[in-house]
Amino acid sequence: MRKISLAKASRSLAQYAAELTDDIIVVTKGKRPFAALVPLKNVDRESLALSTHPEFMRLVTRARRQFAAGRSMTLEEMRIRVSKMSPPNKRLQRPRARRVAQSTPAVRPRSRPRG
């Protein structure tokens, strides 16, 4: 990780970004981190958006605290707990094989005798 002082930055942001490999460049204002240039190699948009979303980060922090306190569960325990909470979403289920109805001959109404 490299640090660059905002006051001492002598090149454009594009030039610093062009030099990115696997290192993060932290831009400081005074002595505090102000911004960061992060390479997006092998990062998808969803991961990037979640990693900077405050509500998601609160969930991660809470989960880490719970784990540190020993409050965790196995995958099987989680499946059981979730399955008890709500019925499965039918739109996400695999479609069941359709039954093939046995074909029955069409019954024609009797016609009246002509006369």
As a whole number of angstroms, the distance between CA 18 and CA 103 comes to: 69
> 50 and 34: one domain?
no
Does 80 map to a domain?
yes
> 52: which 2 tokens?
């900077």
Does 34 map to a domain?
yes
Highest averaged pLDDT of the listed ranges 6-15, 21-30, 36-45, 55-64? 55-64
> 48 and 31: one domain?
no
pLDDT value at residue 83: 82
The model's pLDDT over 35-85, given as tens digits with 9 standing for 90+, comes to 888 888 888 888 888 888 899 999 999 999 999 999 988 899 988 888 887
> 36 and 48: one domain?
no
> 73 and 55: one domain?
yes
Average pLDDT, the chain: 82
The whole-number average pLDDT for the span 89-104 is 72
pLDDT value at residue 115: 58
Give me the domain span that covers residue 64.
43-84
